Amino acid sequence: MRFFTFLFCGFISLSIYAKHSDIERFTVYSNVHGVSISTIGKHKVNSFWIEGEDGVIVIDTQWLLSDADIVLNHIADTVSQPITDILITHPHTDHFGGIQAFIDASPRKPIVHAGFDTARSIQHDEQGFLSSRKKQFTDNITSAVTIDHVLDDDQSFQIQGIEFNTITFRGNEAVATTLFYIASHDALFTGDMVNNDTMPIFYQGNIDGWIEQLEALKDRFPAETILFPGHGKPGRANELISRQLDVLKTYRNSIAASLFEHGTVNVTAMAQDIIARHPEYRQTAGIASVNAVVEQNILWILEDWRVKTSSASDLEGF
């Protein structure tokens, strides 16, 4: 096991590339790096990479092949070793759409690892996300993905001398999310189960289940754990999980209170109120505005709760 230097001193060591205000680079440990790229709307997508003994491990691979190429350039800046392994946290295209660029850039095909549900969903395009995004992005997104190593819900495995642990939760931001924990670094990669300053999306979610899962996650990891989100800057786990819980509870409590008092929800007014209470949150998934995301979220939660509404929810795909 090589020696890992911890660079996190009260706050994330962050360098912002002056030439590209839509690209942010993170270095938290001497051998753990990340980059956030925003080319579609204000949707910032993270990829992380870890330098192992003889190769590089990538976690989540961007939405577009052209964005994946930017990550590859950043990886080449930090390390000369090849990419040997790719981990995918959940089956939304903004986390695996760029994977083919990483595969094509590697001398030997990297091993692709994902949880059982993520593997199933991506390989069969169960929700139609990939075919929908293929129409939008044409040849700038991967055509098909094969998962080489299907992971159990709670297992440990070694890559390049580093031990990873999986923690899988179903029915949150995605149909399932597999979190990766590296005990040697006290580092937790959460996909979109926990994001930073990014509006959650309730398209596939069960808000009550997601809240319960986050409470469990918060109890499980100490305050010092560093959390690497799917979108937004890395930070302390307890802080980021608390903020994620806070925004989810705003939605749940606002909708529940309105239904209790009035039997209905004024979607436009409630969306404005939620945005006013969380003004720093950005829009997600390429949806046109924060307002559109929040209004859509309210409708999805009502649908999930089987509350009859006059407006139908609508989404092309992730």
Contact pick of 24, 85, 125, 192 for Zn ion (by CB under 5 A) = 192
Asked if 229 touches Zn ion (CB under 5 A), the answer is no
Nearest residue (CB) to Zn ion, 61 versus 106:
61
Binding mask 83-122 vs Zn ion (x if CB under 5 A, - otherwise)? -----------x----------------------------
Q: Which is nearer to Zn ion, 102 or 203 (CB)?
A: 203
By CB under 5 A, which span of 105-113, 187-195, 245-253, 299-307 interacts with Zn ion? 187-195
Distance of alpha carbon 113 from alpha carbon 59, whole angstroms? 10
Task: Compute the least distance from the CB of residue 43 to Zn ion, in Å.
Answer: 8
Closer CB to Zn ion, 85 or 94, in the complex: 94
Closest separation between CB of residue 39 and Zn ion, Å? 14
The residue (of 8 and 189) whose beta carbon lies closer to Zn ion is 189
H, E, C per residue of the chain: CCCCCECCCCCCEEEECCCCCCEEEEEEECCEEEEEECCCCCCCEEEEEEECCCCEEEECCCCCHHHHHHHHHHHHHHCCCCEEEEEECCCCHHHHCCHHHHHHCCCCCCEEEEEHHHHHHHHHCCCCHHHHHHHHHHHHCCCCCCCCEEECCCCEEEECCEEEEEEEEECCCCCEEEEEEECCCCEEEEECCCCCCECCCCCCCCHHHHHHHHHHHHHHCCCCCEEEECCCCCEEHHHHHHHHHHHHHHHHHHHHHHHHHHCCCCHHHHHHHHHHHCCCCECCCCCCCHHHHHHHHHHHHHHHCCCCCCCCCCCCCC
The one segment of 101-109, 152-160, 226-234, 271-279 that binds Zn ion by CB under 5 A:
226-234
Q: Does residue 24 interact with Zn ion by CB under 5 A?
A: no
CA distances from 107 to 80, 104, 110 (A): 12, 8, 9
Q: How far is the CB of 16 from Zn ion (least distance, A)?
A: 21
CB of 288 to Zn ion, least distance (A): 17
Specify the stretch interacting with Zn ion by CB under 5 A; choose among 102-110, 189-197, 257-265, 291-299: 189-197
Tell whether residue 230 is a contact of Zn ion (CB under 5 A): yes
Is the Cβ of residue 52 or residue 91 nearer to Zn ion in the bound state?
91
Closer residue to Zn ion (CB): 29 or 281: 281
Nearer to Zn ion, 58 or 270 (CB): 58
How many chain residues are in contact with Zn ion, going by CB under 5 A? Answer: 3
Name the minimum Å distance from CB 262 to Zn ion.
33
CB of 269 to Zn ion, least distance (A): 28
CB of 256 to Zn ion, least distance (A): 26
> Please, what is the minimum distance in Å from the beta carbon of residue 198 to Zn ion?
8
Among 82, 32, 39, 90, which residue's Cα sits nearest to residue 61? 90
CA separation for the pair 246, 224 (Å, rounded) = 20
Q: Which of residues 239-268 bind Zn ion (CB under 5 A)?
A: none
Contact residues for Zn ion, defined by CB under 5 A: 94, 192, 230
